[in-house]
Amino acid sequence: MYEWVRAFHIIFVIFWMAGLLYMPRLFVYHSGAKLSGELDETLKIQERRLLKIIMNPSMIAAFIFGILLLWIRRDNLFDQSWIYLKLLLVFSLIGYHGFLSKTRKQFEAGQRPKSGKFFRGFNEIPPIAAIIIVILAVVEPF
């Protein structure tokens, strides 16, 4: 059972990460789009669909399968220090997701909350977190 739960957890994390990586890229384009122009309206639709159809359900599913993994390994998992850093990074990504959701609503309302340059740099957070999370979960270094 553990391997099946782990497989589904990884699948939904991949879907969620795809959204976490793609949404800021859409924001880069949206930051430079003319208000109420064709690109502005197209990006609003793409951002809404990405969040509602892919990102939110994937995050919820990854979280549920992650909780199941914690429960399955509960006897010895919390004796290891790496799990606490992993959980901190996961909750940081959930906060990142929340920021993206809030920012999408600002674009929807016709605002330009940050520059394209900001979103280019901001887009580096999920891959760095993912690298560390995968190393922690696979290697269990400490």
- What pLDDT digit, counting tens, does each position of 22-70 carry? 999 999 999 999 999 999 999 999 999 999 999 999 999 999 999 999 9
Residue 13 CB partners (closer than 8 Å, separation 6+)? 58, 62
- CA separation for the pair 54, 48 (Å, rounded): 10
pLDDT given at position 121: 97
Calculate what percentage of the chain has a pLDDT beyond 90: 100
Model confidence at 8, pLDDT cuts 50, 70, 90, reads very high
- CA separation for the pair 142, 139 (Å, rounded): 9
Number of domains in the chain: 1
Give buried/exposed letters for 37-46 (b at 16+ CB in 10 A, else e): eeebeebbee
Domain that includes residue 94, residue range: 2-139
Q: Which two tokens stand for residue 137?
A: 């979960």
pLDDT given at position 30: 98
